[in-house]
């Protein structure tokens, strides 16, 4: 894919940020799933301990013991942090996607303007040498 991006440093930076955010999101999601599964395992172990050590026979009492145990609460706190991080990275990735779509739209508008005014296409995706101040400001905001 690098051969497609060789001429535009803004686009290369975008894809680098996108890849690193996507990788971090995958790690955050796997961490969240790991904590979800660890929470289930911890609950089962605490319920077994409640039955064996505390002689709590009723499942509801075992479950109440497990849910109120400090070790279980600690896992829930870790899970909360993992979900927050995953959600933050998801929305960061969505913002990057929106920025890219805005950039694509700007590029299409510039190509249309060039075609409408008879300027031959150059073949590259970089902005024209002297874009209007308004377009330059928009491009700087988007990238």
CA 128 vs CA 3, 24, 51, 113, 116: distances in Å: 21, 35, 74, 10, 14
> Quick check: 35 and 83 in contact, CB under 8 A?
no
Alpha carbons 14 and 12: distance in angstroms, whole number: 5
pTM of this structure? 0.69
- pLDDT for 3: 46
Taking alpha carbons only, the member of 73, 86, 77, 90 closest to residue 31 is: 86
- pLDDT for 137: 54
Residue 6: which pLDDT band, with cuts at 50, 70 and 90?
low
Average pLDDT, the chain: 85
Alpha carbons 119 and 108: distance in angstroms, whole number: 14
CA torsion sign for 35, 37, 42, 47 is positive
Taking residues 109-137, report their average pLDDT. 66
Taking residues 1-24, report their average pLDDT. 80
- 140 has pLDDT over 50: yes
Any idea where the domains of the chain sit in the sequence? 24-142
């Amino acid at each position: 894919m690098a051969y497609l991006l060789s001429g535009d440093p803004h686009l290369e930076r975008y894809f680098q940020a996108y890849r690193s955010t996507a990788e971090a999101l995958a790690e955050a999601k796997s961490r969240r799933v790991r904590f979800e599964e660890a929470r289930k395992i911890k609950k089962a172990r605490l319920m077994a301990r409640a039955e064996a050590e505390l002689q709590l026979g009723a499942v509801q009492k075992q479950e109440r013991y497990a849910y109120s145990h400090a070790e279980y609460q600690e896992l829930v706190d870790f899970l909360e942090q993992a979900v927050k991080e995953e959600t933050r990275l998801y929305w960061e990735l969505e913002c990057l996607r929106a920025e890219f779509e805005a950039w694509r739209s700007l590029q299409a508008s510039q190509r249309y303007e060039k075609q409408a005014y008879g300027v031959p296409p150059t073949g590259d995706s970089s902005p024209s040498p002297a874009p209007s101040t308004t377009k330059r400001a928009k491009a700087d905001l988007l990238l």
